[in-house]
Chain A
Amino acid sequence: MYDGGKIIAGLIIGIGLLMSPFFYNAGKAAKEPERALTDKAKQAKQCVMDKAYMTSSHFSLLDEWRHTVVRDGERYYKRADGKVFYKSLQVTCMDCHSNKANFCDQCHNYMAVTPYCWDCHIAPEEKK
């Protein structure tokens, strides 16, 4: 090999960087986000939409609510089965999910999502 030392060193650094997720995760417990439901939510049994939709797309719903409230002044959402929700982040979502730290933040920290909503909206006070 010509310039073998330099090339091997470069190769090791390059491959090492590309393989960093293997090294980084090794030995760490694969923590999954633990979402706790409040008593109130447990009683309700059901979220605004079905669970699969909420898990993957709750922010689309929030955006739709935000948009229709702020732009169009439509403050009530009627679900297909007739149940009516007051379209509100603070008053509706955070009423059932008042445990923000053990619910919303669990997933959001896991996925490194930082919703800017809480710059203005007030998060529920958490009882420890």
Chain B
Amino acid sequence: MNFILSIVVSSLAVVILVLIPWIGVGALDLRVIFGILVPYAAMATFFVGIVVRVVDWARSPVPFRIPTTAGQQWSFPWIKSNPIDNPKGNTGVIVRMIFEVLLFRSLFRNTRLEYRRTAEGMPKVDYEWEKWLWLAALVFHYSFFVIFLRHFRFFMEPVPGFVALLESLDGFMQMGVLPLNGLGLPGVYLTDMLLMMAVTYLFLRRIYISQTRYISLPADYFPLFLILGLGLTGILMRYFIRVDITAVKQLAVGLFKFSPTVPEGIGVIFFIHLFLISVLIAYFPFSKLMHFAGVFLSPTRNLSNNSRFKRHINPWNYPVKVHTYEEYEEDFREAMIEAGIPVEKESE
């Protein structure tokens, strides 16, 4: 699909996803469906889907050691080795995984091939250290994580202490979302703004760099737009179109206690937000978003590079029926001699 069409298709999909609850609750007042049934269905899809996907991956053999060896392998004591980027055992792998999962180390090492001309007009190929993708990805994921954890004030009663800590750190600027009269409260959360900026950057980068644009599909744009829509409705709801969030919390806690109720007087914008997150989590197991579990199972990161000193046997090896040359000669010796073909053992 060409990229304009991809963008049109995936943004249309998100627009439709916004319209469904808007009409469903705003016009038809189907609060039980959108407040209770949809979230439960989404959660069930999410959890079952994740287990199915991960178990499916676990059943796939990894017959070879295929770690990316981004440093010197362990060999002689007088050759300096890199125990993290070319791990020889579990410790190295664990450190490598921690760097990968928490700091996105492989993105950090991202380089870009650059063809340019020197001042004298000579063509030159350079490797440029491209760190903006890493930075935006890190900002995006951590903002998302903090926002997710902050939402635990809606999910848990009494609210656990870490939420208050996050809220005060995240809102330490004690500043309104816009310098306008009446918008000075509630205080702005930095992660809200960082998330939107990072997602926008990741989207623009995708269409700005011709190679990423070429390989991008609706499956790449759709989650971006969905998260953008999710963030936008959340920001609208927190700072501009307020809803009664004590009632929202009653709904959320009711869901988690399996005694769901839909309290009166929650604005439609909340149901749009809830529907978008429901779609997002239901979409998880079927999409590239599964990388949140897949990162732990990526063999290029989680295998140690020990095939020089440990034998790994292909798990799908089975005893192969062989027919050796000796047996072959045994079968055809007479015919071979007749035809003048040299044989290893003369017949008696």
Contacts and interface: CB of A to CB of B under 8 A. Distances in A.
B246 A111 contact: yes
Question: How extensive is the interface on chain B, given as a class?
Answer: 35 or more
A55 B57 CA distance: 49
A47 to B, nearest CB: 14
Contacts of B47: 15, 18-19
A60 B54 contact: no
B259 to A, nearest CB: 7
Interface string B133-173: 00000000000000000001101111110011001100000
A25 B184 contact: no
B308 interface: no
A8 B156 CA distance: 27
B152 A7 contact: no
A64 B182 contact: yes
A118 interface: no
Interface string A1-24: 111100110110011001101101
B62 interface: yes
Contacts of B242: 56-57, 60
B54 A59 contact: no
A111 B249 contact: yes
Q: Which of A22, A25, A52, A67 is the most central at the interface, judged by chain B CB atoms within 10 Å of its CB?
A: A25
B58 A1 contact: yes
B157 A63 contact: no
A98 B299 CA distance: 63
A68 B183 CA distance: 13
Contacts of A3: 58
A59 B254 contact: no
Interface string A93-117: 0000000000000010111111010
Q: Which of B57, B256, B259 is the most central at the interface, judged by chain A CB atoms within 10 Å of its CB?
A: B256
A60 B257 contact: no
B54 A25 contact: no
Interface in B36-76: 47, 50-51, 54-55, 57-62
Contact of B55 (A1, A18, A19, A30): A1
A76 B334 CA distance: 119
B181 A2 contact: no
A62 B60 CA distance: 60
B250 interface: yes
Contact of A67 (B158, B184, B249, B254): B184
A112 B163 contact: yes
A62 B186 CA distance: 10
B185 interface: yes
B243 interface: yes
B246 to A, nearest CB: 6
Nearest to B297: A7
B315 interface: yes
Interface in A22-76: 22, 24-26, 28, 30-33, 52, 55-57, 59-64, 66-68
Interface of A: 1-4, 7-8, 10-11, 14-15, 18-19, 21-22, 24-26, 28, 30-33, 52, 55-57, 59-64, 66-68, 107, 109-114, 116
